[in-house]
Chains A and B, each alone.
Chain A
Amino acid sequence: SAVISQKPSRDICQRGTSLTIQCQVDSQVTMMFWYRQQPGQSLTLIATANQGSEATYESGFVIDKFPISRPNLTFSTLTVSNMSPEDSSIYLCSVERGSGSNEQFFGPGTRLTVL
């Protein structure tokens, strides 16, 4: 498995502000993803973070609201921009090593509350 850390683990933010969440992996991985888990619900994929190019967003998610960076094979950031209370969720990054691996591992998540 991969050791994945996220910062911050939780935060309480004011409406209209932005928060950047970091995801760090202990080894190089091919694929990195960002998911959202709204309160009491399942996980929804926000985007695939592509190293060296723009992220690939799922339907309903746009770059202006959720800009993503992936400067190398072990690190990615997700920014939640111009936050509203509806953005209160757990945000999780996940990784796959690639090269035939079918296992996707998740970070511990960042619990965001927007007031």
Chain B
Amino acid sequence: GEDVEQSLFLSVREGDSSVINCTYTDSSSTYLYWYKQEPGAGLQLLTYIFSNMDMKQDQRLTVLLNKKDKHLSLRIADTQTGDSAIYFCAERAGANNLFFGTGTRLTVIP
């Protein structure tokens, strides 16, 4: 079955770049997603990438996909305290539902 892994914690200083990594096992994944969850809130869709793309950039966010290694990353440039949250990667593999990673808690140090 699908297995999506992330490191649990990441701390960065305000103004630095954050890189959150994700690995997945299903080679038939069609789309891969990044969601942000702030304390007590639902999930906010940040961005997603089609599996035949290597990179997608959206303002401060850059998504890199290495399909051969089944590795996805999210880079946040100029990280701000408001970026502190849990970040989930998710993959879609055929069906409509998504399989989520364990989540990475990003802490931004002022």
Give residues 88-105 of A contacting B (CB, 8 Å): 92, 94, 96, 102-105
Which residue in B45, B90, B96, B97 is a CB contact (below 8 Å) of A105? Answer: B45
Chain B proximity mask over A52-88: 1 for CB below 8 Å, otherwise 0 = 0000001000000000000000000000000000000
Write the chain B residue with the least CB distance to A4: B42
Given contacts A102-B48, A102-B92, contact A109 B100 (CB under 8 A): no
Which residue in B31, B40, B44, B100 is a CB contact (below 8 Å) of A102? Answer: B31
Q: In the complex, what's the smallest C-beta–C-beta distance from B98 to chain A, in angstroms? A: 6
Instruction: Summarize B's interface: helix, strand, loop or mixed.
Output: strand
Cβ A42 vs Cβ B103 within 8 A: yes
Cβ A42 vs Cβ B101 within 8 A: yes
Cβ B88 vs Cβ A42 within 8 A: yes
By size class, the interface of chain B is 20 to 34
Cβ A33 vs Cβ B48 within 8 A: no
Cβ B31 vs Cβ A107 within 8 A: no
User: Which residues on the B side are within 8 Å of A41 (C-beta)?
Assistant: 102
A53 to B101, CA, bound (A): 30
User: Which residues on the B side are within 8 Å of A19 (C-beta)?
Assistant: none
B34 CB within 8 Å of chain A: no
Write the chain B residue with the least CB distance to A92: B42
Cβ B102 vs Cβ A42 within 8 A: yes
Chain A proximity mask over B29-72: 1 for CB below 8 Å, otherwise 0 = 01101010000111111001010000000000000000000000
**CB-based closest 4 A-B pairs:** A106-B43, A108-B42, A43-B100, A42-B100
